[in-house]
Amino acid sequence: MKADPSHTPPADPPSPRRRMSRRAAIGVSGLLGLAAVAAPAALFLDPLRRRGDKAGAAETWTGLGAVSRFPEDGRPRAVIVTEDQTDAWLSRPGVAVGHALVRRTGPAEFTVHSGVCPHLGCSVAFDPAGDRFRCPCHRSSFALDGELTPNPDGAPNPAPRGLDPLEWRLRDGRLEVRWVRYLPGLPDRIPVS
């Protein structure tokens, strides 16, 4: 009898040994593919990781200008804080990282707070009408010493803590601070940069 050319007999099922070899080959090629993707990604992210390590240390002092720019009247002044940032590829001098609220109350007496709202991170400003600091986002209110204070109209004050104080020093007639950013929304101060 003549064989039907359109009919292909079913292939024999692969032996258990062939199935195992095929699975092993698939596993090895998957691992090689993963390594091919992971290596360039690690190289790309490395400078960012290094920058994060440096930021966590927060060991540098940042200049806010000559002492003479701050009158001894105790009135708060907002000063932009800048840092020189470097990673493996780029140097960026003078990057604005936040603002400080500075009060000078004597020849060498200052109080310096971060202007980052401890509620959710908006910018806090001095309110001359109320003689306090306030945040316009959700109406947090702070006394001039940075402590929480009630809103004059009795509205809730959502900030979980007072303004974050910044360490300061005087060097060669200039005011310097240690800039630290803390996690918002918590009663405790946990530094993030």
The residues of the shown chain that bind ligand FES, judged by CB under 6 A, are 117, 119-122, 135, 137-140, 158
Dist CA 163 CA 172 (whole Å): 28
Nearer residue to ligand FES within complex by CB, 140 or 149: 140
Nearer residue to ligand FES within complex by CB, 139 or 178: 139
Neighbours of 68 (CB within 10 A): 10
Nearest to 178 by CA among 54, 51, 59: 59
- For 65, left (φ over 0), alpha (ψ -120 to 50), or beta? left
Q: How far is the CB of 178 from ligand FES (least distance, A)?
A: 23
Q: How far is the CB of 163 from ligand FES (least distance, A)?
A: 11
Q: How far is the CB of 158 from ligand FES (least distance, A)?
A: 5
Q: How far is the CB of 134 from ligand FES (least distance, A)?
A: 8
Nearer residue to ligand FES within complex by CB, 68 or 123: 123
Nearer residue to ligand FES within complex by CB, 114 or 140: 140
Dist CA 65 CA 38 (whole Å): 45
Three-class SS of residue 177?
strand
